[in-house]
Structure 1
Amino acid sequence: MDNATGKRLLALVRDGDYAHPGEEEANRLLFAGLSASPARRVLDAGCGAGGTAAWVQAQGLGAVTGVEVDPATARLARERHPEVTVVEGDLQAAGRVLAGPFDLIYAMTAIYAVGDQAAAFRELAMLAAPDAELRLLEYSAPE
């Protein structure tokens, strides 16, 4: 099964366009304290099928651009969420496919899958506006 098919099945089972269980709650936690600002330029780094990007935009938190490395998943995101700009590209070379600056950059369970995380963060830093905010939600192993 390919990545996009898996995401479709997960969305169906979870009754929402999310790749992870509890994602709406995670969204509320990750974006807590942000006021609505439709003019805010937002980058979803590793947007997957686009569910979080669409949620962020629907909350009025900004105009979202998502970047997704998997071509089939990027197509799925564009099909499901035409209101969100989705670009196919690798976070390790994000500057080649994205034009900043972005006021808010977030990654929800995406950075763990990047081979060269330092390169990805360098690219994201180059795309960030001077006062940009970075918000991350990642997997961790409880100790």
Structure 2
Amino acid sequence: MPAFSQYDRRGYPSVDVRTGYGEWSDTYEQTVEDVMDLGLLAQLAVPAWDQARRAVDLGCGTGRTGSWLRARGVAALDGVDLTPRMLALARRRGVHDQLLEADATATGLPAAGYDLAVSCLMDEHLPELTPLYAEAARLTRPDGLFVLVGFHPHFIMTSGMPTHYDDRTGAPRAITTHVHLVSDQVAAGLATGWSLAEMRENVIDDTWLAVKPSWGRYLGHPFTIALVWRRAGRQGQPGESGESGPVSAPAAARP
């Protein structure tokens, strides 16, 4: 696995996840654009969001993803995050049934309690992916889905840009960033019992540049990636319905 330091072009002072997101929390919503992650979730064909009776939002942050899921019919939703100040904002938003301060790779939540697990824009902070995939597998029921949206390794390597924010003095700070190749994602998913059901890459286009006009040099480069994973059904075959029913679109609606 390549180290981010090989690609870092910013040289910002780096802080840990809890410190960084705690300091960033007040301005996070104004600096993270929906086109980065929510726009990519909207392109996915496999998840039938409104068929998820219960979902878990791993690395829920301020509740942006949770709000999106609720608006698409997810019936019940729990959230997990490492940062108290982000959780406070999510609590104020009021879209989660339960919010828990915990590591997304070791939540302490009951096993097999969810039809759907979702993780957006947080896996770059993990030194290893397997614990996240393993925890998502533990939490989901047979035939459940795990949807991950993360920064594309191509963009991190090409731009040399870590996840970063400006602190209260206006000084830039990086939050610990790791590079995960697409093959690392696939290896982690397969090693923990998942079957890949869908993958989409978010390429910087004119819609992107309308939001970030200074990024013209990245036109045509992939920025984020979405992977949809399915757990095996009760009979051990991917796609068989578990006790909670399928959480996927009808076959005719799939690509």
- TM-score over 0.5 for the alignment? yes
Residue of structure 2 aligned with 1:7, choices 14, 25, 38: 25
C-alpha distance in structure 2 between counterparts of 1:123 and 1:24, whole Å:
23
Contact 2:49 2:69 in 1 (8 A): no
Are 2:42 and 1:28 equivalent residues in the alignment? yes
Residue 63 of structure 1 corresponds to which residue in structure 2?
76
C-alpha separation in 2, matches of 1:10 and 1:83: 18
Aligned to 1:109: 121
Do the aligned partners of residues 141 and 35 (structure 1) sit closer, same or farther apart at CA in structure 2, a change above 3 Å counting?
Answer: closer
Q: State how far apart, in whole Å, the 1-side matches of 2:127 and 2:72 are.
A: 32
**1:88-112 CA distances to partner (integer Å, 9 max, x unpaired)?**
1102212x2x224110111111122
TM-superposed CA distance for 1:121, in Å, is: 1.9
Runs of 5+ consecutive residues of structure 1 not aligned to the other structure: none
Counterparts in 2 of 1:4 and 1:55: CA distance versus 1, 3 Å: farther
**Which residue identity lines up with residue 27 of structure 1 in the other structure?**
L
The share of aligned pairs that are identical, in percent, is 24
Query: What one-letter code is carried by the residue in structure 2 that aligns with 1:25?
Result: G
The one of 136, 141, 144 equivalent to 1:129 is 141
Counterpart position of 2:150: 138
Q: Which runs of 4+ in 1 moved over 3 A?
A: 30-33
Aligned length: 134
For residues 64-94 of structure 1, give each alpha carbon's deviation from its aligned partner in whole angstroms, at most 9, with x where no partner exists: 1111011221122112x22313211102212
Aligned to 2:40, the other structure's residue is in SS state: helix
Greater length-normalized contact order (CA 8 Å, ≥ 6 residues apart) = 2
- Cα displacement (A) at 1:44: 1.0
Larger radius of gyration: 2
RMSD of Structure 2 on Structure 1 (CA)? 2.4
User: Which protein is richer in helix relative to its size?
Assistant: 1
SS in 2 for 1:92: coil
Counterparts of 1:30 and 1:88, CA distance in 2: 29
Residue 125 of structure 1 aligns with an amino acid whose one-letter code is A
Alignment of 1:70-109 (within 5 A): 70-79=83-92, 81-84=93-96, 85-94=98-107, 96=108, 98-99=109-110, 100-109=112-121
1:22-80 per-position Cα deviation (integer Å, ceiling 9, x unaligned)? 1441231247651523x61111111111111122012213311111011221122112x
Query: Does structure 2 retain, via aligned residues, the 8 Å contact 1:30–1:136?
Result: no
Query: In 2, are the aligned partners of 1:34 and 1:61 still within 8 Å (CA)?
Result: no
Residues 2 and 114 (structure 1), Cα distance of their counterparts in 2 relative to 1, 3 Å cut = closer
Structure 2, unmatched stretches of 5+, are: 1-18, 159-255
